[in-house]
Structure 1
Amino acid sequence: MSALICGSMAYDTIMVFHDRFKNHILPEQVHILNVSFLVPDLRREYGGCAGNIAYNLKLLGSEPLPMATVGKDFQPYAQWMSYCGINQEFIRTVEESFTAQAYITTDMDDNQITAFHPGAMSHSHLNTVPTDRGIKLGIVAPDGKDGMVAHAQQFAAAGIPFIFDPGQGMPMFNGEELLEFVELATWVTLNDYESQLMQERTGLKPEELAKKVKALVITRGANGSLIYTDGQCLEIPAAKPKAVLDPTGCGDAYRAGLLFGLLQDMDWATTGRIASLMGAVKVETAGTQNHSFTLAAFRERYHENFGHSF
């Protein structure tokens, strides 16, 4: 039994400007902005929600099935997925497009200027949720808008339980559209900011949203997470990272932990703690797919953090 992961695959090009943007952007001249930043440090990372979630779920010993649309430049990423042993059966190449990519420039104050090109991600609706692969559950993560809508409907029609994870795709949807997702979904996961936005757009408090699904998960970074289920709210403590280097991708790592627990039919207290530890492991390494561990080592860290085993 496996998990189908619907979402984006992307390249992240990350550049570091060894100064501060504020020293080069004059507020009184922003209407004629024309600036150039020298960026001596540059790295290109493999990313995208589907790619990140699949990578982390594979580390936990599961067999993820990422489903995404990619471009003609995807070969290096495909080679990396092959190296990691991740199934690519449901990765569709759109030859006239580039793979989605983000260009991120960070200054010494950790301010960021980002340009995002959706590329092939805009064609995600061309993929269809398969119904003949023994898929136990799925997730609808940030992707092209039409694809997110179609895949949620297809999961529901096929009777496959799934997580709705709007993430950075939330601004694409109004309150009515978000409620339609919630009505179709089995579980919903949000970070604390997204939770506030969901409340504003739907008019529903977390307790009210939770009544529409089997569980509502709200992550709060270093403050842990909340899981609303069966009329109660479980407080999941944050695991302790050995270092805090890069929070990018922590949410995807956490969601991989949720999928792992659900695939194993674990209780929510255990599932939430596994997800919490996945986020802590990720934050210790720069980039979204550069961390690694053995399952035995992960189990040991779990015991160290929470005082029991799974």
Structure 2
Amino acid sequence: MPVSQPSLDIVAIGDAIVDVIATCDDAFLVEHALPKGQMQLLDTDHANRLYAAMGNARETSGGSAANSMAGIAAMGGKAAFIGQIAKDQLGEIFRHDMRALGVQFDTPALNSGSEHPTGRCLILVTPDAQRTMNTCPGASHQLKAEALDEALIASASILMLEGYLWGPELPRKAMYRAIEIARAAGRKVAFTLSESVCLEGRSEVFAKMIEDGGIDLLFANDHEAMQLAAAPSLGEALAVLAEKVPTLVITRGAEGALGLQDGVGVEIPAIPVAEIVDTTGAGDLFAAGFLTAHCRGHDLRKCLETGAIAAAEIISHFGARPEADLKALVQL
């Protein structure tokens, strides 16, 4: 049982990244050997070269879990974020953006100089709305357990963890510690998967964690679910994962989404969009909508539908932060 009533809906731990978004054609991707529609990690020097070659860009605070917290705040939820930034210009942009959006963010900046600058994701959007992400994690992968605000974690109804931070040793240890804190306070733990979690050497450790009952709610797309479960079909993957995780949420792009909760399955279609401009952050905002509705006590179908509404709004414009009044759109 919780030691006290939660004062926050959700606290997330994830990459503190500044998104740098620009448009380009397919020829630019070929010229710079960038895998279209995929995400790759860059070191600082490579990121600097690519940034210099990009056209006009827009800079906003980003990162998967941070995007979700921004969405939750936009829907009227109480959200907080824990992530590592550096003492530099991009770090100040990130902190200002998060607080301006209504997300509590107080993680102290890392005084790392040029060795570990604030992380950035160079996002190139082609005319077909596909986004190619090139991430330089920088300071975000230096998050230590000692930087966690334990009282903040214990105060939230749900602890949300981001898969992109699962690989590096320091933030993975921090996430383990955060789970201990949340469990001691009687809170739920949600995890948003990423393809990086499914890589060899990472999936085994994560699989053991869900085997041990460490995750209450798992977000994944269909491909990630199949990779994690080592299953040839989505149906078989769901059968494997549903035995270990009480609530599964699977996004399927244009095919909609489905959820499994305590053996009960619900499937919904995607929300029609007049024009898909940029798919950046679609999964992040889906999770935001789902979690906001979940914290309001809604059933699985309503949670999925709320996620779909939030995702549809985000793909109708550039960037991973809502521009329309999400609170009015989801009507919770």
User: Residue 189 of structure 1: CA displacement?
Assistant: 1.1
The aligned counterpart of 2:246 is 214
Taking a change above 3 Å as real, the CA distance of residues 108 and 264 of structure 1, as seen in their structure-2 partners, is: closer
Residues in 2 aligned to 1:130 and 1:59: alpha-carbon distance in whole angstroms: 25
Q: Where do residues 79-118 of structure 1 align in structure 2 (5 Å cutoff)?
A: 79-89=96-106, 91-96=107-112, 97-105=116-124, 114-118=133-137
Equivalent in the alignment of 1:282: 314
Which amino acid is 1:93 matched to? A
User: Cα–Cα, structure 1 residues 22 and 160, in superposed 2: closer, same or farther, change >3 Å?
Assistant: closer
Partner Cα separation in structure 1 for residue 272 and residue 128 of structure 2: 25
- TM-score, normalization by structure 1: 0.82
Distance 1:263 1:144 in 2: 24
CA contact (8 A) 2:194 2:220 kept: yes
- Gap change, CA 1:144 and 1:201, over 3 Å in 2: farther
Q: CA-to-partner distance for each residue in 1:119-176, whole Å, 9 max, x for gaps?
A: 1111223333624653211111134333244233443344321111122431455343
CA RMSD in angstroms comes to 3.0
**1:11 aligned onto 2:11:** no
Distance 1:41 1:180, change over 3 A: same
Specify the structure having the higher radius of gyration (Cα): 1
Report Cα offsets for 1:166-206 as digits up to 9, x if no partner: 22431455343122332201111101111111121899731
1:181 aligns with 2:181: no
Structure 1 counterpart of 2:159: 138
Of residues 128, 137, 150, the one that matches 2:148 is 128
Q: Residue 25 of structure 2 contacts residue 127 of structure 2 at CA under 8 Å; is this kept in 1?
A: yes
- The number of equivalent residue pairs is 291
Asked if structure 2 preserves the Cα contact closer than 8 Å seen for 1:52 and 1:253, the reply is yes
State, as a whole percentage, how many aligned pairs show the same letter.
Answer: 21
Q: Within 1, Cα distance between the matches of 2:257 and 2:131?
A: 26
The letter for the 2-side match of 1:98 is P
CA contact (8 A) 2:258 2:267 kept: yes
The residue aligned with 1:62 is 77
Q: Take 1:246 and 1:14, find their aligned partners in 2: how far apart are those partners?
A: 10
Deviates more, 1:159-168 or 1:200-209: 200-209
1:273 positional shift: 0.6
Alpha-carbon displacement from aligned partner over 1:48-94 (angstroms, at most 9, x marks no partner): 123201110011101101111111121122222232222113x2311
Determine the structure 2 residue equivalent to 1:306: none
